Amino acid sequence: MNKIPDQSTPQPGQEYPIANESHYTGKIADRFKRELTRYYASGLTKRMFHPKMHGLVKAEFIVEPDLSPEHRVGIFKEARTFPAWIRFSNAKRHPSADKKIDMRGMAIKLIGVEGEKLLEKDKHALTQDFLLVTSKTLQTKSVKDFQESIYALTGGWLHLLIYALTHPGVIIRSIRQVKRCNNILEVAYFSTTPSRFGSETVAVKYGVFPQQDLVSGFPRDPGDDFLRERLASDLAEKDAFFDFKVQFQEDAVNMPIEDPTREWTSPFVKLATIRIPKQSFDSPEQVAYGEHLSFTPWHSISEHRPLGGANRARKKVYEIISAFRHERNDAPENEPTELKSFDP
């Protein structure tokens, strides 16, 4: 058993699991299964969070050609272009109108990534995932804190009221994370949690920044799905571009691995360009494919291993819930080996 580093003097890139972390992780997975069974008594069982998909689009992930030696790590070792799927979504656990304040999600799946992956069942897969949202931080610090917040959120109004009165910081952070969105191609996305960057002493967070200016106004009378409609309209006319950047941990105390409520303050460094080509993405077959495609930060090579309690919990919870959903939906769990084409 590996010795956990002394938490009184945190070191760069090191993890500090709390006691009984696997217990709280199991309780989260059990509650998610209970809630999904209740939400989706019949029909398609969607994701616990980010169930509303605006679109699954084809993209290119273009690694920069002249990176400095310290940045040539993992998928960034050499200049190349990876085909990718990108899934845009709303974060709320119930699909709701796009005009409501919310976090938005950007899940990226690169295809053609060689090397053994961290998940045992997918260790021979050719994919690398990055999961990002429109907030730089999460609302809870530890897996125990997150488990308590989930039980409050799903336990009825009285439980939620008591939790809000006893955990005001979590509520305040939750309110600050959500906002109105005019166009999902014009906002930035962040990993909120860190990952390894090659060496065990080097950690980064990810950020994806639009090259498009924020020019879309909020609709006068927005439809429930106006973000998907704007995405379809924009990509019918032109390509969209984002900068993929990393933010290095420069201070293990003020930029902690184990506290995703703390925003890191180091500068972002561009490592790749994301190009979303002009396209149509709303065929029933492609929509169904996007519903069944699984994303997890643990679809990863070891050089980009997810770090911190939130990510350790994700490993178990995402595996359990993905298998649960796919079984209920009678859909196989398969990682793609190529960018599949669908008829328009």
Segment 233-248 mean pLDDT: 98
Q: Predicted confidence band at 68 (pLDDT cuts at 50, 70, 90)? A: very high
pLDDT of 102 > 90? The answer is yes
Question: Average model confidence (pLDDT) for the chain?
Answer: 95
As a whole-number percent, the residues of the chain with pLDDT over 70 amount to: 97
Amino acid 323 reads A
Check residue 295 and give its pLDDT.
97
Q: Predicted confidence band at 2 (pLDDT cuts at 50, 70, 90)? A: very low
Segment 198-225 mean pLDDT: 95
Check residue 47 and give its pLDDT.
96
Check residue 122 and give its pLDDT.
96
DSSP-assigned letter for residue 261: T
Check residue 5 and give its pLDDT.
52
Segment 310-328 mean pLDDT: 96
Check residue 6 and give its pLDDT.
57
Q: What angle do CA 97, 99, 102 make, to 5 degrees?
A: 85
- CA distance to 100, 180, 230, 279, 343, per residue, from 240 (Å): 24, 21, 12, 10, 21
The residue with tokens 């169930």 is 51
316 touches 29 (CB < 8 A): yes
Q: Which domains does the chain have, with CATH numbers?
A: 21-327 (2.40.180.10)
73 touches 197 (CB < 8 A): yes
Least confident window among 22-31, 111-120, 331-340: 331-340
The pLDDT tens digits of the residues spanning 23-45 come to 999 999 999 999 999 999 999 99
SS3 267: coil
The pLDDT tens digits of the residues spanning 180-196 come to 999 999 999 999 999 99
pLDDT of 81 > 60? The answer is yes
pLDDT of 1 > 50? The answer is no
Helix segments in 167-264, DSSP class H: 168-177, 226-237
Q: Could you tell me which residue, 341 or 31, shows the higher pLDDT?
A: 31
pLDDT of 213 > 60? The answer is yes
Measured distance CA(328)–CA(249) in Å, rounded: 41
Q: Is the dihedral of CA 14, 18, 19, 21 positive or negative?
A: negative
Check residue 9 and give its pLDDT.
85
Q: Predicted confidence band at 7 (pLDDT cuts at 50, 70, 90)? A: low
pLDDT of 3 > 90? The answer is no
The pLDDT tens digits of the residues spanning 256-306 come to 999 999 999 999 999 999 999 999 999 999 999 999 999 999 999 999 999
Residue from 126, 131, 164 nearest 148 by CA: 164
The pLDDT tens digits of the residues spanning 154-178 come to 999 999 999 999 999 999 999 999 9
> pTM to 2 decimals?
0.95
Check residue 19 and give its pLDDT.
95
Q: Predicted confidence band at 344 (pLDDT cuts at 50, 70, 90)? A: low
